[in-house]
């Protein structure tokens, strides 16, 4: 696989956030039936059927593959949020928001640049 882009490094390793409605986000929106992997270690993170339609500007999922992610309380930027990281390599992926769409609901708000997918035999990344 190619090296991680500067943005992918900043987001996965330094917990940065890609801009909303990025080029990668629109690329992501075009792909509907693919599972998504961690761009750093290719751990399977999200099944295609957990993809949610939202207008927030980042990829959203209602569920992660079992044991593929870990949640960490994040008190940065004066907010209390729950950070989501890859359980295999610890890469920062985004945040999870609960109960937005009713009790017990979840939205995994994930940076597109943290995701990879498979095309034929290759793992492909967003830029």
Quote the least distance from Cβ 39 to Zn ion, whole Å.
8
Among 34, 70, 81, 88, binds Zn ion (CB under 5 A): 88
In whole angstroms, give the CA distance from residue 120 to residue 122.
6
Cα–Cα distance, 34 to 27 (Å, whole number):
12
Query: Would you count residue 9 as binding Zn ion (CB under 5 A)?
Result: no
Q: How far is CA 1 from CA 41, 102, 123, 126, in A?
A: 10, 40, 7, 12
Q: Which of the ranges 19-27, 41-49, 96-104, 109-117 carries the binding residues for Zn ion, by CB under 5 A? A: 41-49
CB of 85 to Zn ion, least distance (A): 8
Q: Which is nearer to Zn ion, 86 or 113 (CB)?
A: 86
> For residue 94, what are the CA distances in angstroms to 26, 34, 43, 121?
17, 19, 15, 27
Out of 43, 68, 69, 111, point to the residue binding Zn ion (CB under 5 A): 43
Give the catalytic positions in this structure: 109
Q: Which residues bind Zn ion (CB under 5 A)?
A: 38, 40-41, 43, 86, 88-89, 91
């Amino acid at each position: 696989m190619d090296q991680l882009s500067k943005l992918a490094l900043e987001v996965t390793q330094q917990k940065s956030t890609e801009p909303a409605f990025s080029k990668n986000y629109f690329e992501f929106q075009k792909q509907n039936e693919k599972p998504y992997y961690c761009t750093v270690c290719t751990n399977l993170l999200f099944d295609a059927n957990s993809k949610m339609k939202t207008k927030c500007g980042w990829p959203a999922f209602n569920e992660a593959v079992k044991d593929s992610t870990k949640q960490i309380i994040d008190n940065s930027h004066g907010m209390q949020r729950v950070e989501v990281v890859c359980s295999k390599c610890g890469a920062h992926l985004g945040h999870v928001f609960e109960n937005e769409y009713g009790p017990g609901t979840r939205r995994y708000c994930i940076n597109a640049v943290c995701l990879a997918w498979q095309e034929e035999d290759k793992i492909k990344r967003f830029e």
